[in-house]
Chains A and B, each alone.
Chain A
Amino acid sequence: MAYVSIADRDHEIEHHDPQTFITKYVWSQDHKVIAVQYSITAIFVGVVALILSAMMRLQLGFPDTFSFINPENYYQFVTMHGMIMVIYLLTALFLGGFGNYLIPLMCGSRDMVFPYLNMLSYWVYLLSVIILLASFFVPGGSTGAGWTLYPPQAIMPGTPGIDMGILLMLASLAVFIVAFTMGGLNYVTTVLQARCEGMTLMRMPLSVWGIFMATVLGLLAFPALLVSAIMMLLDKTIMTSFFIPAISSMGADPGHTGGSPILFQHLFWFFGHPEVYIVALPAFGIVSDLLSTHARKNIFGYRMMVWAIIIIGGLSFIVWAHHMYVSGMNPYFGFFFATTTLIIAVPTALKVYNWVLTLWQGNIHLRVPMLFAIGFIFTFIHGGLTGLFLGNVTIDLPLSDTYFVVAHFHMVMGVSPVLVVFGAIYHWFPKITGKMYNETLGKWHFWMTFLGTYSIYLPMHYLGFLGVPRRYFAMGNTEFMPESAQTLNSSITLSALFVAATQILFFVNVIWSLKSGKKAGPNPWGATTLEWQTPDTPPKHGNWGHDLPVVYRWAYDYSVPGYADDFIPQTVPPDKAPAGREHGGESH
């Protein structure tokens, strides 16, 4: 029997509508509810990590002032802040949150292909978060080894949390990866198998492309983190020596022999670099759709954008050792990894050009999501360009392990994706909740976040040029650091506290709008993609009522000449509107 994809068997498949409050909102198998569960949990831990960063900034800006911060808990704050932001906030939010919400709606599916597994994915993720947070309360506290958890120090005396803290951290990562794998297989299968009729791959919105490719990267990259977590657990608990050679720790011989600390770094960054793109690709995709919709113009160079996502995803697996130029690995690797790393700049730069060219000759509505999208382009250009410093092996000699690195990666994978997250939440808020957000509050939120973060991270690069090392509890009297460096640090701290505080505007906006926001129409932005064409807003369980949508065109028919409206939804057949982009009509 010929294979029939799931989308084409819609009427054979029974959809179990949830009956009770519990099955509807708690043990829900509906991708939209799971998306919200994922998002709320991720944003909650993100706020925890934000508070941790405020504590760090207090110490750096005003050393020897706050008696509740000491070197021990400072390094714990550093570690947990980084780990939470990268894994438990950004990865979970982009894939578990946006991936869950957008994939079925944008592909014209009723739900994820494996709804039960999807539900399980969230609850296992929640378990990993609980294990992670529990490590704050165990004897010795959470691990303070830095988010990279480099051995030997992660499990050797001299580092905070080498008993329960590191065990819980590694266990939590392993559980998170289980959760991600359940979700990830679901997202990939749904994109490949459950798209509605007419939704060819080259008609998919870039949001779906970005999330899809990021998920593929995650499925290939997270196993490397899983094995390194398990191997370190074994080194810690039963004295294996995967990562620990013979050493003298605190004047005593702990009994290890023959392991390699560098091996861990290779495994970690084999995961860690693709992880950057696990966060970045969904942001790339989503921001493309925000720009196109609010500029009323097709995304420029769609096919190149798709191929750039695929090429960046592929290349991201052969650049990992640019995190290790001065790690002591064979220095000859530097030639190879510097070359691959700078090559990846080409498709990335093309994406930036295409975003800006999408604005060219557009009809730009500067609504809140668009402000965040343009803010993203600015910060991403900045963060991407500083990556060309650090990716170039020679420049790592002075700048590695300094505040230049901290500034670079916060700009490129902290601020930039977070701006997209906010833009995306404002953009889809009317669909998710059926209510409009408050435009004024949203604009204030944008301006304070955008300008505030730039005033944190632009100056921080210059501390790096000066040679100020990262992960220092205090600088003390270092001869080459002028006193003005401390003044700069204080000003950075004030900006950071300001930005952290202004995030309250976002929560006020969400809560106020949920309660008293204006009722939203089904398609307030005049968008072409399928999620705006649902029969109900917010969409009900099963998304599409009785019949699945049929797609006739690509996702970017904005301002097509010869058509009255400035957008043509993907569901409008060619006999009712101009065909738009010719080659979008065929499956490739």
Chain B
Amino acid sequence: MPLAVVLILLVVGSILFHLLSPWTFTPLASNWGMVDFTVDVTLWVTGAVFIAVNLFMAACVIKYRHKKDTRANYEPENKKLETWLTVLTTIGVAAMLTPGLVVWGKFVDVPEEAHEVEAVGQQWHWTYRFPGEDGEFGEVRAELITMDNPFGMVPEDPNGRDDVLVYSPEVHIPIDQPVKFLLRSKDVLHDFAVAQFRVKMDLVPGMQTYLWLTPTETGRFEVLCEELCGVAHHTMRGAVIVEEQDNFEAWLAGYPTYADTLGAQPGNAAVGGGLYGVCSACHGTQGQGMQALNAPKLAGQGEWYLRRQIENYKKGLRGAHEDDTYGKQMAQMANSLVDDAAINNVIAHIQQFPDEPAPATVEGNVESGERLYRVCAYCHGADGMGIQALNAPRMAGMTDWYMARQLKNFRDGVRGSHLQDYYGMQMGFMGRILADDQAINDLVAYINTL
């Protein structure tokens, strides 16, 4: 008897849970309402079967539980009943399959007028490419991928010259226009998924896959990688910003074409020397850093990393948090670099500084730090020299007190919590696995030995 009651309660409870659950589909933001419709049809059919069969079973348990002097009925088969059940089940299955196949037919068939965006996945970032004015993507090859050519563009292909390269995990698309995402991976499997759009597809190295949708709501929609791609899989995130056509065009104009990147001028170290005068007051004349002034060492740091940090300060992605006292100072200073040329020049100057290892100031348990560093090594390298392809800066030989402070900032959300600071967001995830300040000190003490 308790069993029958429990079975009935489970059926009722499951229905109530379903009806009351706050966890359900996110509000739809694309044309794929038909997907939700297919889910609804399936819910009705399966829900009816769930209720009917389980309640029937509970009734059997009540009615036919063992009693003295009763006997089961001997009935090996009942052809008529079995036939009926087969037919009914087949009808139910057909009712679910039909919308499924019809909607899938629409999904595989991309409208002719859809404009194209390429989403490129790599461990553990998203970047994007637009075909440019000619509407044609240039050819790409995995073998050609370098730090100077992160998209693997084929230089000889004229179609590629006007391709717009968006080296950022965030992409914008115009509202109410069908868009076909062409999906490409540089390294391992990934999956491009936006919950509010309802559609997703894997990225497979060596081939191109696709999905399409028409965005119907403006706003920011997070892109999650949903195919396990390694140890930082959960940090591989980006965003699709859906906006009006004009805003979209303005945004796109801010990104360089492939031809632009080929023609980029290297920074002028001599000119940069003049600009660096302001910086040297805190960071030192040779970029060696000064702890008393809370300024980290710059010499020997990757130029790409310095550039991104200066830009982040200027855009307010860094040094905007109220608890980031020193970051706020730097944000003001960064504004003195008025344009890209100024940034390039000052970085070119910094690149000329001699690279002396910073003195060790943080004490901790090196052995325990070595164990913690295993996770860090995936991106920053076993030697701590950083890996540009992973957007992970150098740590070995850099100022240790600064790293310890930044780790605390990442852990506490002082750094890396701005919505557009995607690389900082990743480090925030990783910073939070360090249990306490002791762990941070141990880790930094180990990095000092590299």
Chain A residues within CB distance 8 Å of chain B: 63-64, 67, 69-72, 75, 144-146, 150, 152-153, 156-160, 244-253, 258-262, 295-298, 300-304, 326-328, 331-332, 334-335, 338-339, 342-343, 345-346, 349-350, 352-354, 356-357, 359-366, 371, 374, 377-378, 381-382, 385-386, 388-389, 392-395, 397-398, 400-402, 451, 454, 458-459, 462-463, 465-467, 469-480, 482, 484-485, 488, 556, 558-561, 566, 580-581
Check: B101 CB closer than 8 A to any chain A CB: yes
Q: Which of B157-165, B191-199, B313-321, B402-410 is found at the contact surface with chain A?
A: B191-199
A395 with B195: CB separation less than 8 A: no
- Docked-complex contact A469 and B224, CB < 8 angstroms: yes
Residues from chain B with a CB closer than 8 A to the CB of A388 are: 42, 45-46, 93, 96
B77-124: which have CB < 8 Å to A? 77-78, 81-82, 85-86, 89-90, 93, 96-97, 99-101, 103-105, 107-108, 122-124
A398: B residues at CB distance < 8 A = 25, 35, 39, 195, 198-200
Contacts of A363 in B (CB 8 A): 64, 66-67, 70-72
Say if the beta carbon of B250 comes within 8 Å of chain A: no
B200 and A400: CB pair below 8 A?
Answer: yes
B76: min CB distance to chain A, Å = 5
Known: A366-B66, A395-B35. A152 touches B226 (CB 8 A): no
A323 to B10, CA, bound (A): 30
Inter-chain contacts of A357 with B (CB < 8 A): 78, 81
CA distance A324 to B107 in the complex (A): 16
- For the complex, is B424 an interface residue (Cβ under 8 Å from A)? no
Assess the A488–B108 pair: CB atoms within 8 A: no
Does B61 belong to the interface (CB within 8 Å)?
yes
Contacts of A253 in B (CB 8 A): 142-143, 145
With A and B bound together, what is the CA distance between A459 and B103 in angstroms? 28
Q: Give which listed residue, A297, A339, A466, contacts B25 with CB less than 8 A.
A: A466
Chain B neighbourhood of A360, CB < 8 A: 56, 60, 64
Chain A residues with CB below 8 A from B81, complex form: 357
Contact A394 B72 (CB under 8 A): no
Query: A298-B74, A359-B61, A397-B198 given as contacts; is B22 within 8 A of A251 (CB)?
Result: no
Interface residue? B281 (CB, 8 A): no
Complex contact B193–A469 (CB within 8 A): yes
Please give, as numbers and ranges, the residues of chain B lying within 8 Å of A250 by CB-CB distance: 123, 187, 387, 389-390
State in angstroms the CA–CA spacing of A377 and B61 once bound together.
13
Query: What are the residues of chain A within 8 A of B50 when measuring CB–CB?
Result: 381-382, 385
Q: Report the separation of the CA atoms of residues A90 and B187 in the bound assembly, to the nearest whole angstrom.
A: 34
Q: Does B54 contact A (CB under 8 A)?
A: yes
Residues in B neighbouring A397, C-beta threshold 8 A:
32, 35, 107, 198-200
Q: Given A304-B82, A397-B107, A467-B26, A362–B72 Cβ distance below 8 Å?
A: yes
Q: How far is the CB of A558 from chain B (nearest CB, A)?
A: 6
Shortest distance between the CB of B377 and any CB in chain A (Å): 10
Determine whether the beta carbon of B375 is less than 8 Å from that of A566: no
Residues of B close to A259: CB separation below 8 A: 206
Distance (whole angstroms) from the CB of A496 to the closest CB of chain B: 18
Q: Which of A157, A451, A566 counts the most B-chain CB atoms under 10 A from its CB?
A: A157
List the B side residues contacting A366 at CB < 8 Å. Answer: 3, 61, 65-66
Given A359-B57, A360-B60, A363-B64, A480 and B222 touching (CB < 8 A)?
A: yes
Determine if B26 and A395 form an interchain contact, defined as CB atoms under 8 angstroms apart: no
Return chain B residues, CB-CB under 8 Å to A566: 71-72
Residues in chain B near residue A71, CB distance under 8 A: 231-232, 234, 375, 430, 433
Give complex CA distance A462, B23 in Å: 6
Residues of A contacting B434 in the complex (Cβ-Cβ under 8 angstroms): 67
Q: Which residues of chain B come closer than 8 Å to A262, judged between CB atoms?
A: 204, 207
User: What B residues does A361 contact at CB under 8 A?
Assistant: 64, 72-73, 75
A245 vs B187: C-alpha distance in the bound complex, in angstroms? 9
Tell me how far the C-beta of A77 lies from the nearest C-beta in chain B, rounded to whole angstroms: 13
Chain B residues whose C-beta falls within 8 Å of the C-beta of A251 in the assembled complex: 145-147, 387-390
From A328, A353, A479, B202 is in contact (CB under 8 Å) with A328
Instruction: Give 30 A-B contacts (CB < 8 Å), ordered by A residue.
Output: A67-B434, A150-B227, A152-B189, A157-B378, A159-B230, A246-B142, A247-B185, A248-B145, A248-B152, A251-B388, A261-B189, A295-B72, A303-B77, A327-B204, A335-B104, A338-B101, A342-B97, A359-B57, A359-B61, A360-B56, A361-B75, A362-B64, A382-B50, A393-B101, A394-B34, A401-B200, A459-B17, A465-B23, A476-B429, A478-B222
B399 to chain A: closest CB distance in Å?
25
Given A392-B96, A466-B23, A476-B428, the answer on whether A150 and B233 have CB atoms closer than 8 Å is no
Rounded to whole angstroms, the CA-CA distance of A560 and B75 in the bound complex is 9
Apart from A72-B378, A158-B231, A338-B101: 19 A-B pairs, beta carbons within 8 A? A152-B187, A153-B228, A158-B232, A251-B146, A258-B206, A261-B204, A296-B66, A339-B101, A353-B53, A357-B81, A363-B70, A381-B49, A381-B53, A401-B227, A462-B23, A471-B228, A476-B428, A556-B76, A566-B72
Interface centre among B82, B93, B146 (most CB of A within 10 A): B93
B358 on interface, CB distance cutoff 8 Å:
no
- Among residues of B, the one whose C-beta sits closest to the C-beta of A156 is B188
In the complex, residue of chain A having the shortest beta-carbon distance to the beta carbon of B48: A385
Which residues of the partner chain A approach B105 to less than 8 Å between Cβ atoms?
335
User: B264 within 8 Å of A by Cβ?
Assistant: no
Q: Is there an interface contact between B93 and A479, defined as CB atoms closer than 8 Å?
A: no
B265 CB within 8 Å of chain A: no
Which of these, A296, A326, A451, contacts B72 with CB under 8 Å? A296
Q: Which of A144, A250, A346: most chain B CB closer than 10 A?
A: A250
Which B residues, 219 to 256, have Cβ-Cβ distances below 8 Å to chain A? 220, 222, 224-235, 237
Q: Tell whether, in the assembled complex, residue A454 and residue B10 are in contact, meaning their CB atoms are under 8 Å apart.
A: yes
**Among candidates A298, A381, A472, residue contacting B76 with C-beta atoms closer than 8 Å:** A298
Distance between Cα atoms of A561 and B199 in the complex (Å): 59
Is B100 in contact with A560, judged by CB distance below 8 angstroms?
Answer: no
B209 interface hit (Cβ, 8 Å): yes
Minimum distance in angstroms from B145 CB to a CB of chain A: 4
The complex places the Cα of A345 from the Cα of B85 at a distance, in Å, of: 13
How near does chain B come to A295, taking the closest CB pair, in angstroms? 6
Chain A residue nearest to B93 (CB atoms) is A342
Q: Does B262 contact A (CB under 8 A)?
A: no
Which of the residues A334, A365, A475 comes within 8 Å of B108, measured between beta carbons? A334
B308 within 8 A of A: no
User: Is B261 part of the binding interface, using a Cβ–Cβ cutoff of 8 Å?
Assistant: no
Docked Cα-Cα span, A377 to B227, in Å, equals 32
Contact A474 B108 (CB under 8 A): no
Q: B72, A392: Cβ atoms under 8 Å?
A: no
User: With an 8 A cutoff between CB atoms, is B175 at the interface?
Assistant: no
Whether a CB of chain A sits under 8 angstroms from the CB of B6 is yes
Asked if B38 is at the interface (CB within 8 A of a chain A CB), the reply is yes
Whether A475 and B22, one on each chain, are in contact in the complex, defined by CB atoms closer than 8 angstroms, is: no
The residue of chain A having its C-beta at the shortest distance from the C-beta of B7 within the complex is A378
Distance in Å: Cβ of A162 to nearest Cβ of chain B: 10
Asked if B338 CB lies within 8 Å of chain A CBs, one says: no
Write the nearest CB–CB distance from B74 to chain A, whole angstroms. 5
A361 and B143 alpha carbons, distance in the complex (Å) = 70
Determine which of A395, A451, A476 lies in contact with B39 in the assembled complex, contact meaning CB atoms within 8 Å: A395
Q: How far is the CB of B312 from chain A (nearest CB, A)?
A: 19
A154 CB, nearest partner CB in chain B, Å: 9
* CB proximity of B216 to chain A, nearest CB, Å: 16
Is B186 at the interface (CB under 8 A from chain A)?
yes
Q: Decide if B39 touches A389 in the complex (CB within 8 Å).
A: yes
Residue of B17, B54, B76 with most partner-chain A CB within 10 A: B76
Per CB-CB distance, the 7 closest pairs between chain A and chain B, nearest first, are: A245-B206, A251-B389, A467-B195, A158-B230, A67-B435, A361-B73, A297-B72
Residues of A within 8 A of B273 (CB): none
Q: Chain B contacts of A244 at CB under 8 A?
A: 205
A476 to chain B minimum Cβ distance, whole angstroms, is 6
Other-chain contact of A356, B57, B71, B200 (Cβ < 8 Å): B57
A43 to chain B, nearest CB (A): 26
Q: Are B85 and A353 in contact (CB under 8 A)?
A: yes
A300 touching B74, Cβ below 8 Å: no
The answer on a CB contact under 8 Å between B200 and A352 is no
CB-based nearest A residue for B206: A245
